[in-house]
Amino acid sequence: MDIATILSILDATIRLSTPLLLACLAGLYSERAGIFDIGLEGKMLAAAFAAGAVAAVTGSAWMGLLAGMAVSLGTALLQGVAAITLKGNQLIAGVAINMLAAGMTTFLGQTWFGQGGRTPPLNEGGRFSVITLPFASELSGVPIIGPIYADLISGHYLLVYIGFIMVAVTAYVLYRTRFGLRLRAVGENPKAVDTAGISVVALRYQAVIITGLLCGLAGAYFSIAQGSGFGNNMTAGKGYIALAALIFAKWKPVPAMFTCLLFGFLDALQIRLQSARLGGIEIPVQAIQALPYVLTVILLAGFIGKAVGPKAGGVPYTKER
């Protein structure tokens, strides 16, 4: 395998990791606040559809991104009302969001665009284009560093860079700021937060809002950056993988980044391995496509050890007698 092949797999790794990473960080905020979020998938899917649809109609990627974030935020707030204010079961609220998003996107897509649930293909302005970092072409001649900078680090969509910057931002917010301290506390022992005179409900809504916005970025990435237009069930379970990555990373931002890169790498490898042959027999493409998912399960089951999440996770907060 030459360096160009390796670089291209790693390049694909970064591209494929980005939505996982954004969704994973999104989940981190709400789960750290004590709200289990199985609805990452649904929020991403809704955002992907909204971004694709608005970008197609307006011809502007930025409008698409805004629409994606707005819809995801609305969906997150809906889930928030169910889980926080109405004290419903968080798992069921999340599953409901996923089912709602799966059904609504296809239905609205067919009703509005009549293309079997797809949104129309996007023109140049409706999609984000890749960003070439400064000096990329000048440095490309330099051995080793040159190709790594020019091919691997430079030349990604804006959302990719946002995703990785968000890792540092999240780590800073979580461990260095008052908001982060309270966020971590409310997921562990909301009563301690309440008796310290801080509103548990307000804190949890703030977390849910951040989750919604980040899921919006992740969803938009599918339809208006990586892809060109929305397709049925475009997120293909990535929300669940992001959730798995979050657990694997034990709810910490930097490990979350590495986990998402690992899962992205498995995905990139899978694409590479399609049509690979093993001892003269062609491996069915479905088997290879299933590989990242299978490995996710194995990793989660075997390597993670005991994953102890935020202690108050999944429990609506009530001042009981």
Partner 1 sequence: MSQNGPMNPQRPETAAAFVPANGWAIELEKINRRFGDVHANKDIDLKIARGTIHGIVGENGAGKSTLMSILYGFYTADSGTIRVNGTPQAITDSRHALKLGIGMVHQHFMLVDNFTVLENIVLGAEDSGLIKPSLDRARKELNRLEQEYDLEVNPDAIIEDISVGQQQRVEILKALYRGAETLILDEPTGVLTPKEADDLFRVLETLRKQGKTVILITHKLREIMAITDSVSIMRQGQMVATLKTAETNPEQIAELMVGRRVLLRVDKKPATPGKTLLEVQNLVVADDMGVTRVKDVSFAVRAGEIVGIAGVSGNGQSELLESISGMRDQKSGHVLVKGEPLSLDGDDGAARARQAGLAHVPEDRQRMGLVTNFAEWENAILGYQDTPAYGAGPFLDIAAAKKAAADHIKLFDVRPANINLKSSLFSGGNQQKIVLAREMEQDPDVLVIGQPTRGVDIGAIEFIHNEIIKMRDEGKAILLVSVELDEIRSLADRILVMFDGVIVGEADPATATEGELGLMMAGINSKAAPRGLGIAEQGPLP
Helix (H, G, I), strand (E, B), or coil: what is residue 282? strand
Q: What is the dihedral of CA 187, 189, 195, 200, to 10 degrees?
A: 20
Q: Is residue 17 within 8 Å of 261, Cβ to Cβ?
A: yes
The smaller minimum CB distance to partner 1, of residues 185 and 224, is found at 185
Q: How far apart are the first and last CA of the chain?
A: 66
Under 8 Å between Cβ of 32 and 180: no
Contacts of the segment 301-309: beta carbons below 8 A, 24+ positions apart: 303/248, 304/247, 304/248, 307/247, 307/248, 307/250, 308/250, 309/31, 309/247, 309/251
Q: Which is nearer to partner 1, 87 or 176 (CB)?
A: 176
| Closer by beta carbon to partner 1, 68 or else 187 | 187
Please state the closest distance from residue 90 (CB atom) to partner 1, in A: 20
Min. distance of Cβ 204 from partner 1 in angstroms?
Answer: 15
Do 200 and 190 contact (CB within 8 A), yes or no? yes
Closest CA to 130 of 167, 156, 106, 112: 156
Nearer to partner 1, 15 or 182 (CB): 182
Shortest spacing between CB 197 and partner 1, in angstroms: 3
**316 close to 88: Cβ distance less than 8 angstroms:** yes
CB of 79 to partner 1, least distance (A): 25
Least Å from the CB of residue 252 to partner 1: 12
What distance in Å separates the CA atoms of residue 307 and residue 313, rounded to the nearest whole number?
Answer: 13
State which residue, 189 or 233, has the beta carbon closest to partner 1: 189
* Min dist. Cβ of residue 164 to partner 1 (A): 23
Beta carbon nearer to partner 1, 277 or 321: 321
Nearer Cβ to partner 1 (104/304)? 304
Considering beta carbons, is residue 196 or 278 the nearer one to partner 1?
A: 196
Which DSSP symbol is given to 133?
Answer: P
Report the nearest approach of partner 1 to the CB of residue 212 (Å). 22
Residue type, 123: N
Residues in touch with partner 1 (CB under 8 A)? 176-182, 184-185, 188-189, 191-198, 311, 319, 321
Distance in Å, CB of 193 to partner 1, minimum:
7
Q: Measure the CA–CA gap between 214 and 233, rounded to whole angstroms.
A: 19
Q: Which residues of 13-43 are buried (b: 16+ CB within 10 A; e: fewer)?
A: bbbbbbbbbbbbbbbbbbbbbbbbbbbbbbb
